[in-house]
A = this chain, B = another copy of it.
Amino acid sequence: MGAMAELTPEDRFLRSCRGEEVDRPPVWLMRQAGRYLPEYRAVREGVSFLEMCRDVERAVTVSLQPIDLVGSEAVILFQDIFTPIPGMGVELDFSPGPVMAEPLRRADQIAGLRVPDPRESVPFVFEIIRTLRQALESRRIPLLGFAGAPFTLAAYMVEGSGSKDFATLKTMMHREPALLRQLLATLTEMTVGYIDAQIEAGAQAVQLFDTWAGLLSPDEYREWISPTHQEIVQRIQKNGAPFILYVNNGAHVVEEMAQSGADVISLDWRASLSDAAARFGEGVSLQGNLDPCALAASPEQIRDRVQAMARDAAPARGYIANLGHGCLPGTPVEGVRAFTEAVRSLG
C-alpha cells in the first residue's frame, strides 16, 4: 500500500474505474448536491430549478458544496438530464419532475426533432464544467459529467411526465415499434454529442443515468435498451474518461449492464454487490449501492453497512462507494457524513 497512501482523490477515482490498484475505495453520492443540504436550499431560494441549472455561478456553487459539507470525493456537474432537450425543439417544464408541453406520440413530432450542437444550444453546461474544473484542479478532485439515457428521456417525452407504469410508452413499444426506435436513435445521436462536448470541456468521467430502463423485462431490455448503451459507449470520444452506467431498479439486468462496454456499472440497492462482483467483477468495476433511506440509521450501523459493501465488492477489479439511488430531500446530513467517513476509514 506504501505509495498508494499518497493517492489523490482524482487518482483513486480514475484508477478504481479502470480496475487499477488503490488504497481504498473512493466515495461520492448520487444527487449529493440537493435539497437535503440547507446550504443548497439557500442558493436555490428564489429561483426555479431551470434557472438554477442555467445560472453558472449558482450551479458551480452547489456542485462544490458536497466536498466540504459532507466529505464527498468527487464532484458531479449540477444539471438535469433534461437540460439538452429544449434544444431539440421540445418544450418542457418541471413540477417538480419534467412535464412536456406536448407529449411526443406522432411520427411528424419525432421526425421534426433537431440534434443541435450542444456547445451552441446549452453553452452554460460547458462553462460550468470549465469553471468547476479550474476550481477542482488544485485539490485534485475528479469532475464527473453526466447525461440521461435515451430510453429514460424517451419515456418522459412519450408519456408526457413521470408515471407509475409508463403504459403509453410501452403501448408505443408494442404497437409502433418503428416510431420508438426512431426516437431512441435520435436521442442516442444527441447523447453522444452531448457527452463528447462534456469530456472536451473537462469532465474526467461520465455517468449515464437510465432511470426507467428497469421497467422492462430482461428480453425487452436486451432488445430496446442494451443497443442504446452499447452505441453510446462505442461512439463517444472518451479521451481517457471512464464511462459509468447506472440503471435504476436494474437488479434483473446486471449481466446486460456488465456487457454494455461501460468501465463501471452503478447498482441499485436491490442488486447483490457480491453476486455482481463474483460474476462480472473481473471485467468491470462496480459502484453503489446503499439504499439512500439507510442513511437514517445510526453512524455505527452505516459504518457496518459500508464495511459489508466493501467486503462484498472486493472480488471486483474496482469499487466506488456510492448510494443505490440519489439522496432524498429528507436524507439526514449527518448520515451522509457518516457514510463518507466510513469509506475513508476503510484505508
Name A's B-contacting residues (CB within 8 A).
165-167, 170-171, 173-175, 214, 216-218, 220, 249, 251-252, 269-272, 291-294, 296-297, 301, 324, 328, 330
Contacts and interface: CB of A to CB of B under 8 A. Distances in A.
B170 A218 contact: no
A218 B296 contact: no
Nearest to A175: B296
Contacts of A171: 293, 296, 330
Nearest 5 Cβ contacts at the A-B interface: A170-B293, A251-B252, A174-B297, A171-B296, A252-B270
Protomer copies: 2
B328 A218 contact: no
A113 B347 CA distance: 48
Nearest to A305: B219
B328 A165 contact: yes
Given A171-B293, A217-B291, 14 more contacts: A165-B292, A167-B330, A170-B291, A171-B296, A174-B293, A174-B296, A174-B301, A175-B296, A216-B270, A216-B291, A218-B270, A218-B272, A220-B291, A252-B271
A261 B294 CA distance: 29
Contacts of A272: 218, 252
B293 A165 contact: yes
Nearest to A219: B308
A330 B217 CA distance: 20
A270 B328 contact: no
A217 to B, nearest CB: 5
Nearest to A169: B293
24 contacts: A165-B292, A165-B328, A166-B293, A167-B293, A167-B296, A167-B328, A167-B330, A171-B293, A171-B330, A173-B293, A174-B293, A174-B294, A174-B297, A174-B301, A175-B296, A216-B270, A216-B291, A217-B269, A217-B270, A218-B272, A249-B249, A251-B252, A252-B270, A252-B271
A281 to B, nearest CB: 17
A174 B292 CA distance: 11
Contacts of A216: 270, 291
A53 to B, nearest CB: 22
